[in-house]
Chain A
Amino acid sequence: GAGVSQTPSNKVTEKGKYVELRCDPISGHTALYWYRQSLGQGPEFLIYFQGTGAADDSGLPNDRFFAVRPEGSVSTLKIQRTERGDSAVYLCASSPQRHSSYNEQFFGPGTRLTVL
């Protein structure tokens, strides 16, 4: 079956602009995660959804970042007033959450965001 997909694959924007990044998780996966990965670093947690609700948004760096998952499948990460420091690869992952202690995460290919 299809894996996690993310669009766009690349996004170049200017400082101060608004961007939306989309994630389509694996069908049936209830858990969805957003991460940000800078060059040479590990993925940095941003937010975790269980179903439609944000179960943990403690990784969002500030109020310019917001994410939604209105129907419990597709999610959108929204960044307002982008800054050059927001440039990174934004990764989405989903998990079947079969039971509470096991949550292998399936990552999408990422969206490379460049803020000029």
Chain B
Amino acid sequence: GQQVMQIPQYQHVQEGEDFTTYCNSSTTLSNIQWYKQRPGGHPVFLIQLVKSGEVKKQKRLTFQFGEAKKNSSLHITATQTTDVGTYFCAGKGAQKLVFGQGTRLTINP
């Protein structure tokens, strides 16, 4: 079945440093979504990418969808303490979303 792998599993940075998490699917995706889960919270939708090669920006966050629609990345520029949490990609095949295991971001202020 469809698998979505995410790396790294953990990332610790100094405040102000950049952060990137990578997502790879075993199959071609119709779209990919990104979610953020704060400690003790529930996943919150960030964005959806649909088109091959698509790049979207939200302030300091940049999301990319690969040309083959099998990989994606999230890059945060100049991290802030409010960025702490776990970032999940979720790839959509025919019907359901398959979530990666997430990248947990911690930040040293």
Contact = CB atoms under 8 A, between A and B. Distances in A.
Interface of A: 33, 35, 40-45, 48, 55-56, 58-59, 91, 93, 101-110
7 contacts: A42-B101, A48-B95, A56-B96, A101-B30, A101-B50, A104-B48, A105-B33
B42 A59 contact: no
Nearest to B1: A58
A103 B50 CA distance: 11
B33 A41 contact: no
A4 B97 CA distance: 18
Given A91-B42, A107-B43, A44 B99 contact: yes
A109 B48 contact: no
Contacts of B85: none
Interface on chain B toward A: helix, strand, loop, or mixed SS?
strand
B96 A58 contact: yes
Given A102-B48, A109-B42, A110-B42, 20 more contacts: A33-B97, A40-B101, A41-B102, A42-B6, A43-B43, A45-B96, A45-B99, A56-B95, A59-B96, A93-B43, A101-B30, A101-B31, A101-B50, A104-B45, A105-B33, A105-B45, A105-B97, A107-B42, A107-B43, A107-B44
B49 to A, nearest CB: 11
Nearest to B30: A101
Contacts of B99: 35, 42-45
Contacts of A35: 99
B42 A42 contact: no
Q: Which of B42, B50, B95 has the most CB of A within 10 A?
A: B42
